Amino acid sequence: MSDFSRVMVRELKNSPMTAKFGMIVILVYVVVSFFAPIIAPFSETEIVGAEYEPWGGAFLLGTDNLGRDMLSRLIYGARNTVGIAFVTTMLAFAIGVVTGLLAAALGGWLDQLLSRIVDVLMAIPSLIFSLLILTVVGTSVINLILVIAILDSTRVFRLARAVAVNIVVMDFVEVARLRGEGLWWIITKEVLPNAMPPLVAEFGLRFCFVFLFISALSFLGLGLQPPTADWGSMVRDNATLITFSDITPLLPAGAIALLTVAVNFVVDWFLQKTSGLKE
């Protein structure tokens, strides 16, 4: 383990500036969302002042349309939006990777069945599809996570399957099959370790997409429900300020953009480090 951490330290030292920047930003977001109640000056939902107060004074970034503190809501928003995006992405990957690898390893009718289901799901524009389903089942956090995870798992399925079909035809997998190894061994020991680099890279990208997707849904009113602070809905709530050339509504949008860029920097670096099967 100490060997591993030494390698990690060396790798981190040698990482390019962009990756360092990305990691620092992600770290800040994580710290902020963990310690939100301590860092935030006010509560997430409490109305503490007049509507649309300007920056400065007690309210560093002013107040929103109901008189809640903007900074506090931004900090809590990190917790809600990032946390839910993370859980959703994990779930999407669990579903997508397992089914994708199964389809590649078994082939035949199971592959056909899964692939066709995925085709059907992908044929419908995902935003419209999720709006539809969320309207039907109602907008709770659980529903939100489940719907987005299932929709996103279709993309993960496609990637996992595509990567795995190239691996399952390799000789070392044939060796394992001829040895009499079971499906579980083949998937977890032979295929998955070799499919990791593209999947991890996809995880980074997918995380950003989910993140933006939740914000988009919130903006449309079907995401996280008020009074929970969420960056997407915060943009919508304060959108009127734009007309008064106040940039406050752009802050949550900027927070989204910054995290997206940071995650992608780290992913790029990781891709470069572990590109391909051979090296």
Binding site for other proteins (CB under 8 A): 14, 170-172, 174-175, 177-181, 189-190, 193-194, 277-279
Q: Give me the least distance between CB of 183 and other proteins, in Å please.
A: 11
Decide: 159 and 195 in contact? Cβ < 8 Å. no
| Phi, psi for residue 278 in degrees, rounded to 5 | -95, 160
Q: Give me the least distance between CB of 191 and other proteins, in Å please.
A: 9
Token pair recorded at residue 185: 């061994």
Q: Give me the least distance between CB of 168 and other proteins, in Å please.
A: 12
- How far out from the chain centre does Cα 4 lie? 27
Pairwise CA distance, residues 143 & 46, whole Å: 26
Name which of 38 and 279 has its Cβ closer to other proteins: 279
Name which of 119 and 174 has its Cβ closer to other proteins: 174
Name which of 102 and 256 has its Cβ closer to other proteins: 102
Q: Give me the least distance between CB of 202 and other proteins, in Å please.
A: 18
Name which of 94 and 183 has its Cβ closer to other proteins: 183
Name which of 35 and 172 has its Cβ closer to other proteins: 172
Name which of 1 and 171 has its Cβ closer to other proteins: 171
Q: Give me the least distance between CB of 269 and other proteins, in Å please.
A: 16
Q: Give me the least distance between CB of 193 and other proteins, in Å please.
A: 4
Decide: 120 and 155 in contact? Cβ < 8 Å. no
Q: Give me the least distance between CB of 166 and other proteins, in Å please.
A: 11
Decide: 156 and 92 in contact? Cβ < 8 Å. yes
Name which of 116 and 189 has its Cβ closer to other proteins: 189
